[in-house]
Amino acid sequence: MRYGIIGTGNMGSMLINAFISSGAVDANDVTIYNRTRKKAEWIQNQFKEITVANSVKDVVRESEVVFICVKPHDYKDILSQCSPNASQCLVSITSPVAVKDLENITSCQVVRTVPSITNRSYSGVSLFTYGDRVSDFYKDELHSIFSHISKPVVIEEESIRSASDIVSCGPAFISFLLENMISAAQEVGGMSKEKATQLTEEMMIGLGTLLEKRIYTLPELMEKVTVKGGVTGEGIGALEDHIGDLFLEMFKATHRKHKEDKRTIQL
Ligand SMILES: NC(=O)C1=CN([C@@H]2O[C@H](COP(=O)(O)OP(=O)(O)OC[C@H]3O[C@@H](n4cnc5c(N)ncnc54)[C@H](O)[C@@H]3O)[C@@H](O)[C@H]2O)C=CC1
Ligand SMILES: O=C(O)[C@@H]1CCC=N1
């Protein structure tokens, strides 16, 4: 299978790296294009067999599956230069562009796969929404390569915002909260930033491993650590008192931005 990647920023380069280094895709089968050519050449330095194309048109001509990895407001620019035909599969990786809308303006088969930075370590989820025209052949192929780097999960269009908030924005949200925990450990506990950071990162790796091995669920973890009459309970109590609408407001903010993007994105 020949793959094309348009846009080699954070996500485009992450996908190329993960697919090739996991063995899901052969570098000889990959053609890439980026507006700033240097970014694409930097990836080619790591994977010599990759082809760097001179245009969007060249990528589409060379590929059966074409990933669009640019920001949603740049889609129009890409699609106006060239559109895949009915035998090809277009893969969009952004949530505010609906699969139906892409199907309406192209003749190709369409899939949306929202990845996550966690896929770089062959973990976490990739969210799949299939268009009506997509063949079982492409479904199987995409499911197969994404299984090398993630757990593919099918998600309905209506749930895409909250699902992507958890799966794709989640690593940034949790990192933000942990950075706050580290700052507070410095302020209240007098711990150095380096030491608090080291402890936090190791704790997160341990927590992830417990979940990965299905040793405990999240509620079980809370119960096991919260010794009756102990300090964790006091800490949880303080969190309960102060958490307020934190996450409600976060989801409301992302849903607002999602709506705004949908209103302003032109295809
Ligand atoms: N960053 C993340 O964790 C995730 C991002 N996404 C989606 O991935 C998409 C890309 O996001 P990032 O990689 O973070 O952005 P980015 O800004 O790092 O990468 C976009 C790339 O597209 C290139 N580009 C822009 N216009 C172009 C054009 N006309 N032709 C060729 N190349 C062009 C830019 O030079 C840049 O390298 C977005 O739609 C985003 O919603 C999805 C899941 C997670
Ligand atoms: O389209 C999305 O939902 C993803 C999440 C992070 C950036 N873009």
From first to last of its 267 residues, what are the pLDDT tens digits of the chain? 999 999 999 999 999 999 999 999 999 999 999 999 999 999 999 999 999 999 999 999 999 999 999 999 999 999 999 889 999 999 999 999 999 999 999 999 999 999 999 999 999 999 999 999 999 999 999 999 999 999 999 999 999 999 999 999 999 999 999 999 999 999 998 999 999 999 999 999 999 999 999 999 999 999 999 998 999 999 999 999 999 999 999 999 999 999 999 999 999
Distance of alpha carbon 140 from alpha carbon 231, whole angstroms: 50
* Residue 256 token pair: 């607002």
In b/e form, how buried is each residue of 202-218, taking b as 16+ CB within 10 angstroms?
eeeeeeeebeeeeeeee
Distance 169 CA to ligand 2 centre (A): 6
* 55 Cα: distance to centroid of ligand 2 (angstroms): 25
Note the pLDDT of residue 254: 98
pLDDT confidence of residue 167: 98
Q: Which residues is 109 bridged to in the sheet?
A: 89
pLDDT at position 83? 87
* Fold for the domain defined by 3-155: Rossmann fold (3.40.50)
Quick one: which atom of ligand 1 is closest to the CA of 172?
3
Dist. CA 8 → ligand 1 center (Å): 7
Domains of the chain, residue spans: 3-155, 170-257
Fold of 170-257: ProC C-terminal domain-like fold (1.10.3730)
CA 92 to ligand 2 center in whole angstroms: 11
Token pair recorded at residue 181: 């925990």
Contact, 128 vs 148, CB < 8 A? no
pTM comes to 0.96
Q: Measured from the CA of 96, which atom of ligand 2 is nearest?
A: 1
H/E element, 66 = strand 65-68
8 within ligand 1 shell (Cβ under 6 A)? yes
Closest-lying ligand to the alpha carbon of 165?
Answer: 2
Atom from ligand 2 closest to the CA of residue 95: 1
Look at residue 140 and give its three-state secondary structure.
helix
What's the pLDDT at 150?
Answer: 98
* CA proximity to 189, closest of 129, 231, 155: 231
CA distances from 227 to 84, 221, 236 (A): 59, 11, 11
Helices 170-189/193-212 angle, 10° precision = 140
Cβ atoms within 10 Å of 264's Cβ, excluding its own: 10
Cβ–ligand 2 contact at 116 (below 6 Å): no
Q: Distance (Å, rounded) from C-alpha 21 to C-alpha 34? A: 21
